[in-house]
């Protein structure tokens, strides 16, 4: 009986020890704010994935320099938990679930792009995890009645509408338009929005085609575009796509009055890759270093954000770097407004909007997509990006023709 009693006491002590360790582990986990971030760090989308990671890291660095995110009367340092989904959307969904169920993250940053965001957001909705989407602009991502997804990008027509209006009013000789779109959620949806915006203004869409993901030769499509004799060519896709298309347009000497490629030309990598062929290419995006926003976040202003980014990475930030940092400051401001990391309270704070960030004023429609700022229109002139629109930050006029 004494032996049995000793064994029972030993088992009880062991159970108590594990319970104590478990409690300590929970306390330790809760002392750090964990944010899950599945990214395409390898594969064809890796340029964009690495840009987002740099944006995330700059925000986390600045937040942690200040002691972390304020939660009530205490502060919590930030830790971002990364997984590489290798530019494979089903893998992004698997890793999003792992981040929630295994890593126990408090909140999530969505994968890159509208397609992967749409797929992975089903996971955050299932578990009730507020998720910030840095690179989703297609309404198809946000029209499913989800309550946990908030995107920093405005809708695709906020790019197509002002650009179509600008060309219509400043280049009245432009009548015929060709559209070539990557057959992927965001690029195809954007191409379709351009088609709507152009037709609404009486422009003639003489060519519209989509190219498969992974296309390595656009010569056939470009031949058809040349035959269609457009005044304006619009191409949508990701940076590697657009570099290839621009080179092949040059090979076939296709020189429309206006060439628009979204969004790659705002990346320095595009300019470096295509050289003089970048000249006079137009694009549209959601942020530019020419922005002049004063903010209530850790960066204080657009100008200071650009300065800090350049100091850390020795290059000027583009819109993908900036939106990566923007989801960080947005999450931080929502937590600080809520005074809690309770998901319901943070979700409510996000939905209330009216955040003054370096990226711009951020509020959301009922579906969770940003609706509170004007994205700029950009043109590459002499190897540098200049702003054509909106008027308050415009620093150049549209140039027609290609070299």
Looking at the fold, whether 387 and 347 belong to one and the same domain comes out as: no
- Looking at 31-156, list the stretches that DSSP marks H as alpha helix, in order from N- to C-terminal side: 46-65, 89-101, 113-127, 139-142
The model's confidence at residue 383, banded by pLDDT at 50, 70 and 90, is confident
- Tell whether 47 is covered by a domain: yes
Encode pLDDT of 345-362 as tens digits.
999 999 999 999 999 999
Contact of 137 with 369, CB cutoff 8 Å: yes
Q: State whether 299 and 356 are in the same domain.
A: yes
In a domain, 369, yes or no: no
pLDDT at 285: 93
Q: Is the dihedral of CA 275, 278, 279, 285 positive or negative?
A: negative
Across 38-58, average pLDDT? 97
What is the C-alpha separation between 160 and 174, in angstroms, rounded? 16
> Residue 392: what pLDDT?
87
- Give dist(CA 287, CA 83) in Å, integer: 26
Q: Are 265 and 326 contained in the same domain?
A: no
Share of the chain above pLDDT 70, in %: 93
Domain hosting residue 164, numbered range: 157-285+377-393
Query: What CA–CA distance (Å, rounded) separates 387 from 402?
Result: 18
Same domain for 230 and 165: yes
pLDDT score of 2: 43
- Is residue 185's pLDDT more than 90? yes
pLDDT in tens, 196-236: 999 999 999 999 999 999 999 999 999 999 999 999 999 99
270 to 82, 101, 238: CA distances (angstroms):
26, 39, 11
- Domain membership of residue 2 (yes or no) is no
Q: Is 146 exposed, middle or buried (0-12, 13-18, 19+ CB in 10 A)?
A: middle
Q: Are 86 and 127 contained in the same domain?
A: yes
Instruction: Identify whether 300 is part of a domain.
Output: yes
pLDDT digits (tens, 9 = 90+) for 234-249: 999 999 999 999 999 9
8 burial type by CB count under 10 A (0-12 exposed, 13-18 middle, 19+ buried) = exposed
pLDDT given for residue 128 in this prediction: 98
Number of domains within the chain: 2
- Are 112 and 212 contained in the same domain? no
Do 239 and 382 lie in one domain? The reply is yes
Residue 5 pLDDT exceeds 50: no
Question: Residues 110, 117: contact at Cβ < 8 Å?
Answer: yes
pLDDT at 238: 94
149 and 243 together in one domain: no
Residues 393 and 395: their CA atoms lie apart, in Å, by: 6
Give residue 9's pLDDT. 39
Q: Give the distance from CA 116 to its chain's centroid.
A: 11
Q: Based on the domain organization, do 224 and 103 belong to the same domain?
A: no
pLDDT, one tens digit per residue, over 271-296 is 999 999 999 999 999 999 999 999 99
Q: The domain spanning residue 324 has which CATH number?
A: 3.40.50.2300
pLDDT band at 4, cuts 50/70/90?
very low
Would 240 be classed as within a structural domain? yes
The predicted model gives 381-399 an average pLDDT of 93
93 and 150 together in one domain: yes
In the prediction, which pLDDT does 403 show?
A: 76
Q: Are 318 and 48 in contact (CB under 8 A)?
A: no
Model confidence band, residue 6 (pLDDT cutoffs 50, 70, 90):
very low
Asked if the structure places residue 209 within a domain, the reply is yes
Instruction: Flag whether pLDDT at 323 surpasses 90.
Output: yes
| pLDDT at 342 (0 to 100) | 98
Residue 20 confidence (pLDDT) above 50: no
Q: Do 39 and 102 sit in the same domain of this protein?
A: yes
Is the same domain home to 254 and 212?
yes
> Is residue 15 a part of any domain in this protein?
no
C-alpha dihedral over 18, 21, 26, 28, to 10 degrees? -170
Q: What is the pTM of this model?
A: 0.87
Residue 370 in any domain: the answer is no
Whether 134 shows a pLDDT value over 80: the answer reads yes
Contacting residues for 385 by C-beta, under 8 A, at least 6 apart: 265, 266, 288, 378, 379
Confidence (pLDDT) at 81:
98
Q: Return the number of other C-beta atoms located less than 10 Å from residue 143's C-beta.
A: 12
Chain-centre distance for alpha carbon 281: 22
């Amino acid at each position: 009986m004494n032996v049995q009693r000793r064994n029972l006491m030993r088992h009880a002590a062991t159970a108590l020890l594990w319970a104590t360790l478990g409690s300590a582990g929970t306390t330790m986990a809760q002392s750090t704010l964990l944010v899950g971030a599945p990214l395409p760090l390898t594969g064809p989308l890796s340029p964009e994935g690495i840009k987002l990671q740099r944006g995330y890291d700059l925000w986390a660095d600045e937040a942690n320099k200040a002691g972390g995110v304020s939660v009530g009367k205490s502060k919590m340092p930030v830790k971002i938990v990364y997984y590489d989904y290798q530019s494979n959307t089903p893998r992004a969904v698997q890793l999003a679930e792992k981040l929630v169920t295994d890593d126990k993250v408090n909140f999530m940053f969505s994968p890159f792009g509208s397609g992967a965001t749409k797929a992975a957001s089903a996971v955050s909705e299932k578990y009730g995890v507020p998720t910030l989407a840095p690179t989703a602009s297609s309404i198809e991502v946000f029209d499913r009645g989800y309550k946990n997804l908030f995107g920093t990008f405005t809708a695709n027509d906020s790019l197509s509408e002002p650009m179509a209006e600008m060309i219509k009013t400043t280049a009245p000789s432009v009548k015929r338009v060709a559209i070539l779109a990557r057959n992927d959620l965001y690029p195809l949806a954007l191409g379709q929005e351009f088609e709507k915006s152009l037709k609404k203004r009486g422009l003639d869409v003489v060519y519209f085609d989509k190219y498969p993901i992974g296309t390595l030769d656009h010569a056939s499509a470009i031949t058809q575009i040349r035959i269609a004799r457009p005044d304006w060519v619009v191409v949508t896709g990701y940076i590697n796509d657009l570099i290839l298309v621009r080179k092949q347009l040059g090979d076939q000497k296709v020189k429309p009055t206006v060439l628009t490629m979204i969004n790659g030309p705002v990346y320095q990598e595009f300019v470096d890759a295509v050289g003089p062929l970048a000249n006079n290419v137009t694009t549209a995006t959601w942020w530019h270093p020419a922005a002049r926003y004063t903010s209530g976040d850790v960066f204080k202003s657009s100008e200071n954000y650009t300065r800090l980014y350049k100091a850390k990475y020795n290059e000027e930030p583009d819109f993908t770097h900036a939106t990566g940092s923007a989801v960080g400051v947005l999450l931080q401001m929502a937590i600080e407004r809520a005074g809690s990391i309770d998901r319901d309270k943070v979700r409510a704070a996000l939905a209330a909007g009216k955040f003054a960030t370096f990226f711009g004023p951020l509020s959301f429609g009922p579906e969770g997509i940003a609706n509170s700022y004007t994205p700029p229109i950009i043109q590459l002139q002499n190897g540098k990006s200049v702003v054509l629109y909106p008027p308050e930050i415009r620093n150049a006029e549209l140039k027609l023709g290609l070299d």
